[in-house]
Structure 1
Amino acid sequence: MAISLTIAEVLFGAFFATSGTNHLLAGKGFATPVVRLGFSRSSRRLIGAAEVTGGIGLTVATWAPVTGIAAAVGLCLLVAASLQYHHWVQDTVMRCVAPTLVTALMLLDAVARLALLLTVPTARVA
């Protein structure tokens, strides 16, 4: 389970880091969903910074499990907020499917990483 969890975290981490980088570097003519939904440039940068930070946190979760759990929970909250915003602007159901799945996967990741953290014995220093 640890290997598949690590692979999933690295893939999700790369996805969020890439997405966040796109939001951070987005110019005036750059089209991302946050541009389409009318977010300001500073809001896009804040969202991008949160995605990059969460992506890095997921990527290092194998070596820093508590950081990975915090990153997964933070990204879950971020994506859940985006899902709520999609609902407020009466977006189509198909545009809400991806945030719903990602929210569920981030919750699952946090629970799985916490379960691993609690069940794996730690080395004791004498």
Structure 2
Amino acid sequence: MAIYVLQAMLGIAFLMSGIAKLAGARMHANNFRKWGFSPNVRLLVGGAEVLGGIGMLAGIWVPVLAVLAGLGLAALMVGALGVHRRAKDPFSQWAPAFVFLLVAASVAVRHASDWFS
């Protein structure tokens, strides 16, 4: 049961973050510009986050979607960590990506482990 609560929270968080990126929220637009990325990259990342969030929520009923979304979101967060590292951002800016990486990977592993039990 706890995995589903965690999964729902993760899905909602990525939906909100992705929608903000797609909408061009000032903070996200400024960060992507600071990191040297075009608006198209922001839109691509936002779209990936929205799809991952939807997959995470749908994965409550279709577990394979949780595995795929978890792996995709974890990969996205590895990329985010690389960007923050390259930009020499302070810990407070890259810590959320690390936490989301761990949670997304945990959800994927938890659901995938059902296939082998």
TM-score, length-normalised on structure 2?
0.89
Which structure 2 residue ranges, 5 or more long, are not aligned?
none
Residue of structure 2 equivalent to 1:81: 79
User: Retained in 2: the 8 A contact 1:16–1:51?
Assistant: yes
More helix by share: 2
User: Retained in 2: the 8 A contact 1:69–1:114?
Assistant: yes
Q: Would you say 1:59 and 2:57 are equivalent positions?
A: yes
Q: Would you say 1:31 and 2:34 are equivalent positions?
A: no
Deviation at 1:92, TM superposition (A): 1.3
* Aligned-residue CA RMSD (Å): 1.5
Which structure 1 residue ranges, 5 or more long, are not aligned?
120-126
Larger radius of gyration: 1
Deviations 1:41-93 (A, max 9, x none): 11111000000000000001121111110000000000110001110111112
Distance, in Å, in 2 between the alignment partners of 1:40 and 1:106 is 26
2:107 pairs with one of 98, 109, 123: 109
Residue of structure 2 equivalent to 1:123: none
Structure 2 residue matching 1:57: 3-state secondary structure = helix
Provide runs of 4+ in structure 1 moved above 6 Å: none
TM-score, length-normalised on structure 1?
0.83
Number of corresponding residues: 115
2:95 pairs with one of 89, 93, 97: 97
Amino acid at match of 2:65: T
Deviation at 1:24, TM superposition (A): 0.6
Amino acid at match of 1:18: M
Amino acid at match of 2:108: A
Deviation at 1:20, TM superposition (A): 0.3
Distance, in Å, in 2 between the alignment partners of 1:117 and 1:54 is 21
Distance, in Å, in 2 between the alignment partners of 1:88 and 1:38 is 11
User: Retained in 1: the 8 A contact 2:70–2:105?
Assistant: yes
Distance, in Å, in 1 between the alignment partners of 2:94 and 2:39 is 23
Deviation at 1:37, TM superposition (A): 2.8
Distance, in Å, in 2 between the alignment partners of 1:116 and 1:34 is 38
